[in-house]
Structure 1
């Protein structure tokens, strides 16, 4: 065992040296855990912001003016008036996300108790903004009509007192969500790419033959690649959470970062093993990239990091329980968002460890076959 650990350590140090000598991979790690996190968190917002609104006012009454004046920044840009025959053209061109059309005699019909219709055209290609913005506009219109009819500037008092408490993200700020989730997704991406690239690099540089004639076993080579590349990822994660998320973006971390790092280490065993497994089926970096890309896309999109697991078909939810990324996302969200302790997240840690052992053993078997063939 002492000899095995010594070989793993020395091979891992060699791997770190190879990584340090590869400026492209170093730049990739720095970019993924710095600018990529910041740009996605500040640019890919889920809430409504600066949505473009146009309107057609065939009534030109005090009520329509009141409604339009209530559509305010930062959710919406100031509404712009267009002609009735321009609605189709501006919607087709994507110039506006929302187009309101007030019919003639709108205010008079409201005052006489009729139910006039307001046409609201929505460009649903901007799906998140369209869905949330539609709700906001409906609330604005309903509130302004109620105030107009009551003659009061305060909203109509409801027979109930609804108290809304937003836990874990009181301001519903998407930066809090997207910054942390970007780091979680990047762990998966880099774990697969770095370990796979390490094996491909050995082949392309011809050093795999050197390893074959050395008194080392496939398990030592594989574990060395896992701990060396995993160490680089863990360091990048810790610095990204500290500098980018907490300092630059001012996002609070609710739970224990050491507990999160422990879970990330367990998770790294499975995804780095997956990277080596994929690399054994390829002979060059372009082939590896083409093979890894669809795997990573599926793992990230269906892990619960982008959309809730509950929104997926039940059969797909069951299938995704076999993916370690699903449990890592649940584990990470519980700790970093909700401040959960080990008494809550230990089942996910156990499942990640079990799946990691399976991925590691499968990858090790395939790696042994590959090395025997190369020899």
Structure 2
């Protein structure tokens, strides 16, 4: 496997073009509705546009991103961009962490620091990790797959090859959103390589065994399924669009930076533990760094493609065996869905379950300290096994 160092260096004309496009936005007429009721708030978007065009410093953001060691690798015919940060302890444990949508590898910027050097944050140096954060195929600097069929299961195969190419025969996995799906696929397909997985989200397509031969649904499970369906009806339109007509949507979002900002920014508000005030949790610089990665790499269309592929290969375990590697789960209070423990235990060996005190869908950005502590706790037993 060929691996080469990588540094982000967006050409200056691309930065100038983005500013020009933002300044030239043709704003849609405002409808008589309360702020955020029907989607991204126009007043908030205009404020964000002003900051993006006049004050946001991409070069400073770029320098921050480049502080993490990045690489490009050719993995089984697919080029993969990834961060590979070595731990500061004597025997760091290898961990692959996978992002989702509308996040990116930037989502784990603060978490990587906490995982690789816990002593710098008041923790135990013995809890250090070697952390690998790949960009999903079609996201940021990982090109889109050349052929169809790249679902979470195929990405899991790539991650195993990547980790082995880096010298890790056994490792752990962590993820939320689409990254949770990849982590589940890693455990399901590669139990000889994956010690265990830690999740802060359950893939929406996950279906455990619930037939006549299994335990009947509990009241908690019935409530969860009802709430999940209600959420999908009111909030899941984005996912249905991604999974059915991604290229129709990509035509507009790839051409309009403020359309892209509306599509992504609204989710950071709706899915986080911000009490309706997105600026309380995420700075404009953080939001725009993430959005700019989608813009400069023109990856919004290819990122949505993964929803199409996952729809064709859902996470159904109804007729299959239980997943062998143990699972840890951090259930954040403002996550999109909050499954009961029994729902996971129909398929997984859940050995750690924590109801978190605060935080939402973007846990690695919102509460990196809380998430890091859970990850450290879950993987401690595996360190003893490999020591």
- TM-score class, shorter-chain normalisation, is under 0.3
More strand by share: 2
Higher helix share: 1
TM-score (norm 1): 0.24
Larger Rg belongs to: 1
TM-score of the pair, normalised by structure 2: 0.23
